[in-house]
Amino acid sequence: MSFLSRQRRAFRGDARFFIGIALVAVSIAGVWFLVSAADDVTPVLQANRTITQGETLTAGDFHVAEVGLGVLADRYIAPDELRPGQIASRTLRKGELVPASATAEASTAHSTTIVVESSTPIPHDMETGSVVELWSAPPLDDGRTYDAPRILVADVIVRDVVEPEGMLAESGASVELVIDRADVADVLAAVMGGSALSVVPIGSGS
């Protein structure tokens, strides 16, 4: 019996020894993988300004960032993959790495830009890339007053705000908006019909 007990203890001791060796090997492999991943960087494009949906992409809009992306590297645009005629399919924020899914061919664009005069003051923090609503108040028959305002187009992107110095919070402004082509007719009809248009940030009241 004592012989069998010694055998069992020896077996358990050998098992613990081999398990310990395996754990050490796994730990070393993990450290090696992390170090290798840190050294394996990929050059990808990073936006140096906010680029709105529909804008044509040019090399001057980006700088090259060396980033350790590992298996995700193929999801982002490398410097040599930027082609003439590509546009932003969504807004790219300043400093954002450029994913391939955020670019498209110009021929597939479904948006355009329209400049409108906002009849209400524009907040100081409205900027390129801001998401807003375009409200419209049609004129009444008396030619001096307007009907109740309603949302004309929701989820519109600001391309640019044009406002005289010092007047940003005191009066309306000209705002260039990125609008889906399906909404262009309604916006032009409101402009030509003399409606009072207001550009309202999402979350604000009318």
Residue 22, CA distances (Å) to 1, 8, 26, 142 in order = 32, 21, 6, 88
Non-local (6+) Cβ contacts of 136 within 8 A are 149, 150, 151, 152, 190, 195, 196, 197, 198
Q: Residue 166 — very low, low, confident or very high, per pLDDT cuts 50/70/90?
A: low
Instruction: Report the distance separating Cα 200 and Cα 161, nearest Å.
Output: 13
**pTM for this entry:** 0.69
Instruction: Report the distance separating Cα 89 and Cα 92, nearest Å.
Output: 9
pLDDT in tens, 2-46: 544 555 555 455 566 556 666 666 666 655 555 555 557 889 999
Instruction: Report the distance separating Cα 119 and Cα 149, nearest Å.
Output: 12
Instruction: Report the distance separating Cα 151 and Cα 154, nearest Å.
Output: 7
Q: Provide the pairing of β-strand 111-117 with 174-180.
A: antiparallel
pLDDT of amino acid 20: 61
pLDDT in tens, 62-88: 999 998 878 788 899 999 999 998 999
The residues with which 93 forms a beta bridge, in sequence order, are none
The one-character DSSP state at 124 is T
Average pLDDT over residues 161-188: 80
Could you list the beta-strand ranges (E) of the chain.
42-47, 62-67, 86-88, 103-105, 111-117, 131-137, 150-162, 174-180, 196-201
